[in-house]
Amino acid sequence: MGNKIFRSQLYEYDYRTRVIKPKNRMCPRCGSMMAFHKVGKPRWHCGKCDYTIFVEEKKK
Protein backbone atom coordinates (compact mmCIF):
# COMPACT_ATOMS: atom_id res chain seq x y z
CA MET A 1 0.00 0.00 0.00
CA GLY A 2 3.02 2.26 0.02
CA ASN A 3 2.83 3.00 -3.72
CA LYS A 4 1.80 6.59 -4.34
CA ILE A 5 0.42 7.54 -7.73
CA PHE A 6 0.84 11.18 -8.58
CA ARG A 7 -1.71 13.00 -10.69
CA SER A 8 0.90 13.55 -13.42
CA GLN A 9 1.19 9.76 -13.88
CA LEU A 10 -2.51 9.44 -14.77
CA TYR A 11 -2.33 11.55 -17.94
CA GLU A 12 -0.38 11.59 -21.22
CA TYR A 13 0.88 14.98 -22.32
CA ASP A 14 1.63 16.07 -25.89
CA TYR A 15 3.28 19.47 -25.62
CA ARG A 16 3.47 20.08 -29.38
CA THR A 17 -0.28 19.74 -29.96
CA ARG A 18 -1.23 20.83 -26.42
CA VAL A 19 -3.37 17.74 -25.81
CA ILE A 20 -3.86 16.04 -22.44
CA LYS A 21 -5.37 12.52 -22.46
CA PRO A 22 -6.10 10.20 -19.54
CA LYS A 23 -4.20 6.89 -19.56
CA ASN A 24 -7.04 4.96 -17.92
CA ARG A 25 -10.57 4.38 -19.13
CA MET A 26 -13.41 6.70 -18.26
CA CYS A 27 -16.56 5.27 -16.67
CA PRO A 28 -19.47 5.14 -19.14
CA ARG A 29 -21.97 5.53 -16.30
CA CYS A 30 -20.66 8.49 -14.27
CA GLY A 31 -17.62 9.82 -16.22
CA SER A 32 -14.99 9.25 -13.51
CA MET A 33 -11.62 7.62 -14.14
CA MET A 34 -11.58 3.84 -13.72
CA ALA A 35 -8.87 1.67 -12.13
CA PHE A 36 -7.48 -1.55 -13.62
CA HIS A 37 -7.22 -4.53 -11.25
CA LYS A 38 -5.06 -7.56 -12.08
CA VAL A 39 -5.67 -9.60 -8.91
CA GLY A 40 -8.41 -12.18 -9.37
CA LYS A 41 -10.14 -11.78 -12.70
CA PRO A 42 -8.72 -8.80 -14.66
CA ARG A 43 -11.21 -5.94 -14.67
CA TRP A 44 -11.79 -2.18 -14.89
CA HIS A 45 -13.61 -0.78 -11.86
CA CYS A 46 -15.10 2.62 -11.03
CA GLY A 47 -14.80 3.41 -7.34
CA LYS A 48 -17.41 6.13 -7.50
CA CYS A 49 -20.44 4.22 -8.87
CA ASP A 50 -19.15 0.59 -8.59
CA TYR A 51 -19.43 -0.06 -12.34
CA THR A 52 -17.20 -3.00 -13.41
CA ILE A 53 -16.03 -4.18 -16.84
CA PHE A 54 -14.44 -7.64 -16.89
CA VAL A 55 -11.62 -8.16 -19.38
CA GLU A 56 -12.06 -11.13 -21.69
CA GLU A 57 -8.92 -13.24 -21.92
CA LYS A 58 -7.85 -14.22 -25.42
CA LYS A 59 -7.84 -17.96 -26.03
CA LYS A 60 -4.88 -19.35 -27.95
Which H or E run includes 12? Answer: strand 11-14
Of 11, 54, 46, residue with least CA distance to 29: 46
Query: Is residue 8, in this structure, part of any structural domain at all?
Result: no
The stretch 36-49 carries a mean pLDDT of 92
Query: Is residue 48, in this structure, part of any structural domain at all?
Result: yes
In the predicted model, is pLDDT for residue 1 greater than 80?
no
pLDDT computed for residue 26 by the predictor: 93
The 10s digit of each residue's pLDDT in 6-29 is 777 888 999 999 999 988 899 999
Query: Is residue 18, in this structure, part of any structural domain at all?
Result: no
Of all residues in the chain, what percent carry a pLDDT higher than 90? 52
In the predicted model, is pLDDT for residue 2 greater than 70?
no
Question: Facing residues of 50 across strands?
Answer: none
Query: Is residue 37, in this structure, part of any structural domain at all?
Result: yes
- Which range marks the domain in which residue 46 is found? 24-60
pLDDT computed for residue 9 by the predictor: 82
CB 21 within 8 A of CB 11: yes
Query: Is residue 15, in this structure, part of any structural domain at all?
Result: no
